[in-house]
Amino acid sequence: MKIGIAGGGAFGTALGVALALDGKDVTLWARNPEAIETMQNDRKNPKLPGVELPRNMSFSAELDSIFACDTILIAIPAQTVPAFLNAHVDQLTGKNLIACCKGIDLKRMTGPASTIKDLVPNATAAMLTGPSFAADIARGLPTALTLACADDARGAELQAALSTTSLRIYRTTDTIGAELGGALKNVMAIASGVAIGAGLGESARAALITRGFPEMQRLAVKLGGQPDTLSGLSGFGDLVLTCTSEQSRNFRYGLALGRGETFDSSTTVEGAATARAVRQLSGELDIDMPICTVVADLTEDKTDVMRALNALLSRPLKEE
């Protein structure tokens, strides 16, 4: 099985490294010709310092290079996925399209796997998600991920094709639960970063993680996901990782908000857009999601950290 990767960021490149080192046929596409030239000639990606790219991993700035592959990992920002799919429906039809990004599209209000299913209906839509940092994957450190595919037989094929000695992949047919777990944990990571950045302490972070998890479950179940999926790698596992490590871009963004510092605008923070999408969805579906709402307001400067904290602490007392 030939595997193509759309996106030359850290995560897409790291997946390519792991797969190529396992002997798989991998081609990575990125839109920046200079970045492709650096990866092809120097075998380095500046976003993965200290990692040498395998010689059997190919790179191209031409999209036809990945359209020739049976399976394509889509590792571009979640908000750009619909435009990518719409622009290349004919070339993507019949392929295995696996979303490796996490978020909820602000216009469509769907996660990446659902977006694939809607826009390229004759492709196999899947989601690869779970607690993972690009640096760990690229260094060959043990990582467990969830592959979600509604077609269980095809999911089993993809599970076998993408598993390596360092990547242990579990599978589920619950694409809704998997994509929402991956998207919503980014919002909670921002909230956790805010708590630490504002000096609220580890106990506050623990409380946010604990109360944030039921919020994730409420929305996922309302939209058709399974509670058990949220309790697995793609939900709780990813939640713990991203809320407790500065390797998480969403957590670092929250740290900057909490400290009142400027954050690098060139860094993709999927949780910011997701929080705004969730705020809209929670209103439409009449679901109580106070942490997500506060994070959305913070990202748009509609509130500040202390007012956000007071809004959460002034909520009515109730049973856990």
DSSP assignment of 184-225 equals: HHHHHHHHHHHHHHTT--HHHHHHHHHHHHHHHHHHHHHTT-
Q: Supply 222's token pair.
A: 């309302």
Radius of gyration, CA atoms only, the chain: 19
Q: Supply 164's token pair.
A: 């390596």
The DSSP letter of residue 223 is: T
- Active-site residues: which are they? 185
DSSP assignment of 72-127 equals: EEE-S-GGGHHHHHHHTHHHHTTSEEEE------TTT---HHHHHHHHSTTSEEEE
Contact 28, 18 (CB under 8 A): no
